[in-house]
Chain A
Amino acid sequence: MIEIKKISKRFDKIEAVSDVSLSIEEGQVFGLLGTNGAGKSTLLRMMAGVLKEDEGEILIDGEAVWDCVEAKQKFFYISDEQYFFPNATPLDMAAFYKTLYPAFNEKRFRKFLVKFTLQKDRKIQTFSKGMKKQLSILLGVCSGVKYLFCDETFDGLDPVMRQGIKSILANEIDERKFTPIIASHNLRELEDICDHVGLLHKGGVLLSKDLETMKCNIQKVQCALPKEDDKKLEKMFDILQFNRRGKLVTMTVRGSEKQVMAKLSVLKPVFYECIPLSLEEIFISETEVVGYDIKNLIL
């Protein structure tokens, strides 16, 4: 388990992470979502022991990370720009990691290289960006660690590769309680892989919830009501987003589907239905509430 307790980190006058507390259970995929400059990379780098927190502590299985070999042997960190030794091949990197991660499975790594058509003796500097990311993930998976920290790793992968990697991660999770922590702003990618999501905004945690629970508690409803009484709707529902086109109302509200439908039925709508929300819509709704209005950014 990874415990992040009241972590803060400042760079000169900029507060990159402010009083963040999170718990990451083993055996689940944790998605670290955030707006630009939310502090995702900073938080991940602190979890990886690269940056030292100004306040608070980060514990991995009860051990503080900073400059601790035992704690660091439990995770593999993949940076947004991963470094490889100059002129090194995948096998060279594997040999290097094997010295540091005793459980590194070289046989499995070679099999993965074949499966993902990455040449074992080819210089990594000739790989494309996507191939390098694939390689990083394979190295991380084969290192035998409990936790895998990925900073925007999936972004450069093609859809086929993405699915391949996802299936590997799923297998690992099933077999040995492997716990990937994936930072990204590509919400679509995380939607079908993450079990738990932490949402960062301006250095703080906006929410940290189980994905299914999150989806259950926000509904997008379309309805047509006999009377146009928006104020009544505001009183009845906790509205996150509201849009009216003539008689047709589209709104995002908090609450379970059952609760929302029950309330709506009282108003005797001409038409109403719940539309599935994507993670992106949940994300936008949650951030709009605290003032991060994506429409303002587009303008």
Chain B
Amino acid sequence: MTSRISYSKLSRENRKRMLGMTIITVLTFFIKAVFLVMGVNECSSHTEVLRLFQPNMGMAGVVIVLAACSAAVSLYYLHSRKQTDFYESLPIKRATLFRLVVQNSLFIFLIPLVIEEAIEFVIAQQQISGGGWEIVSSSLWYLLIFAATWLTMALAMIMTGNIIVGILGFGVFASYFPIVIYNIFPIYAGSFFATYSGNTADNVYNNITSYLSPVWVGLRGMADINSGRETQIKYMMILLLWIVGLYVLCRTLYNRRPAESAGRAMAFTKANTVIKVLLVIPSALYSGIIFYSLGNARYIFWLIFGVVFGVFVIHALIECIYEFDVRAIFCHKKQLIVIMFGSLFIMASFSADLFGYDRYIPKASRVDSIEIKPLGVNSYGYWGKGEERSGLNGEEKQLALSVIKESVEVKNNAETSSSEYYEKNSKFLFFSSVSKKEVMRDDIEISTTFCMKNGNRKVRNYILRSQKAKELYNKLYATREFKKNIYSLYTRDYNDIKEITWSGIETEYLNLTKEEKKQFLDTYLSELDSLSYTDVQKTVPVGNIDISIGGTMGSENATQDTYYIYPSFKKTLAFLAQKGCAVNQTIDNLDISSIGVEGYDGSTGENIRYGITDKKRINKLKKKLVLQQMENVPGITVINGNMEIQVNYKNKNGGNSIYCYSICTDDELQQLLKE
């Protein structure tokens, strides 16, 4: 065993060889400190200064490059026969040598990092008397990202015998799951599954793949820097697990690595086939989708062509890299054929829906509840605290399932698609999937989540006939159960609501006691219970209330929900009126002094500006205006969102302005403006 004394001397000797990396690392942190000082001088507020001390993606990118270079430099000897002979013949255990290299690389990074962060701490204390958590968390993030990247590159260097192949390997390890694999399913599902919803939050596949690269986990954790300490700590723990796992894997492989692989493409030839399969199949699938897209997504033939072409080319390329010989493209023909069939099978599982993704409707007995995303109804929204969304049960669930089942089935030829796509590709669409069903002009798409009894969630989008969809929503919307899924206010803890404001023509802050708040919100919800789906589609709200959760409006941890007040909400309006809100004020009954219109006219291609003061014209125009805050209300169609319309009116305080959109056609608006 190398003694402790000689280990420390050896460590020192190794650090002497890493002088170049040491200088680059020190220089990097020196420049970072200089940029910080320059940034602090430019800041004008506490928040801006504080933001400078937070970890940022730019620096994370620099750390990744530093780490990759450090690992490549430290382990380059594995790729040189001369150096391998030298190091492997020395009286040092392999495990010791590896540990030494890892420690020194971390040490060379850590010392300048700590010094630079100490300088930042001093500056932070002088400038804002704070920023401690930001500085500590940024140090931790950079260190974790460095370690994760270093070990990923080390794995690539250990598994290969050539630096170019090693760099390629690093790229594959870092991006394979979070980019290559992560995107295949959504791209193919989005292209071929009519019921695919693209909802990645509920997609187990997407959730898992995004954690399968330590570099990606680090970047993702940093990107969510404002999502709270708990989330940050969660990411850090995952990254730490990755680091420990990678270290153990690297050390094991390092100990087993044959020295004769120096100079070859791959060090562990037994892994070659596995790596080849993992690279060729996804690459071929991407090739397929590229050719399919180039054919305007009209012919599945081009998809098949692309997959076959991709298999040939990528397989050949990998064989060339393995053997460093162009003639090697003709090696392993049997493997090529097997991979070809595998790729085509996976492709067909999407294009021909072999596994019935589109035909999927679970049995009622297996479904705990169904969440249906409201159609034509604004849904609010923040489900952080309070009761979780529970979905539809009982009769509503049965109703939803039967309507959905009807939407999927193709009962007779009359329902079979007459689209050009189906005609040209019918022989590739093996099963009676949704792609075969004729889509009518008024059909409506609804988003459905099946919450299974085993805890899984499956999301699908179904196309319903317009009539069926409206019948379904009319029935569902009449139930409180359905509304609880749409409006989080039903299950919100009122103590979390810190502020409520009324927004109509004017905005008023509601100064309410705890009891008044409860009374007001209970009243609102009871009137919301009575609101029908038809009302929502056809009625323009009088105004809306904005509630701030978790803090006052605009504060760092606060979120905001908006709830519309409809004319039928008499008690709610009475309450607001009692609190001094001008609930009866509308655009129509305002004493308007002028209307200014400014914006881009699409028909002429010019910027326009109008000022209208004539009362007759004002009276005509105001009937075609809605408040900007009503832009997303169902039943209101904002024709021209590019036109900014400022309405100036007189009130008890002298005057005020509101901003509106028009709901008339462009021609009508032009006529009104030019009269």
**Interface residue ranges, A against B (CB under 8 Å):** 11-12, 45, 48-52, 67, 69-70, 72-73, 77, 79, 81-83, 85-86, 95-96, 99-102
Contact = CB atoms under 8 A, between A and B. Distances in A.
Interface of B: 1-2, 6, 9-10, 13, 17, 80-86, 88-94, 255, 258-260, 269
Contacts of A48: 85, 88-89
Nearest to B13: A96
A135 B82 CA distance: 16
A95 B14 CA distance: 12
A100 B10 contact: yes
Given A69-B92, A73-B91, A100-B92, A51 B260 contact: yes
A77 B85 CA distance: 9
A interface, over-half SS? loop
Contacts of A77: 85, 89
A48 B17 CA distance: 24
Contacts of B258: 51-52
9 contacts: A45-B259, A48-B85, A50-B88, A50-B89, A52-B259, A79-B86, A82-B86, A85-B17, A100-B6
B interface, over-half SS? helix
Nearest to B256: A52
Contacts, number: 65
Nearest to A101: B91
A83 B89 contact: no
Contacts of A72: 89-92
Given A81-B82, A83-B82, A85-B17, A49 B89 contact: yes
A100 B91 contact: yes
Contacts of A79: 82, 85-86, 89
Nearest to B9: A99
Contacts of A73: 91
Contacts of A49: 88-89
Task: Tell which of B80, B84, B88 has the most Cβ of chain A within 10 Å.
Answer: B88
What 6 pairs across the A-B complex have the smallest Cβ distances? A72-B91, A77-B89, A83-B86, A99-B9, A48-B89, A50-B88
Contacts of B81: 81
A82 B91 CA distance: 16
A268 to B, nearest CB: 59
Contacts of A83: 80, 82-83, 85-86
A85 B13 CA distance: 11
A73 B81 CA distance: 21
Contacts of A100: 2, 6, 10, 90-92
Given A11-B260, A96-B13, A50 B91 contact: no
A69 B85 contact: no
A142 B6 CA distance: 18
Given A49-B88, A69-B1, A99 B13 contact: yes
A100 B93 CA distance: 12
A51 B88 CA distance: 8
B85 A45 contact: yes
A98 B411 CA distance: 87
Contacts of A45: 85, 259
B2 A67 contact: no
Contact of A50 (B9, B84, B93): B84
A72 B85 CA distance: 13
A72 B90 CA distance: 7
B434 to A, nearest CB: 52
A79 B90 CA distance: 12
Contacts of B10: 99-100
A46 B52 CA distance: 56
A67 B86 contact: no
B260 A102 contact: no
A67 B255 contact: yes
A82 B260 CA distance: 16
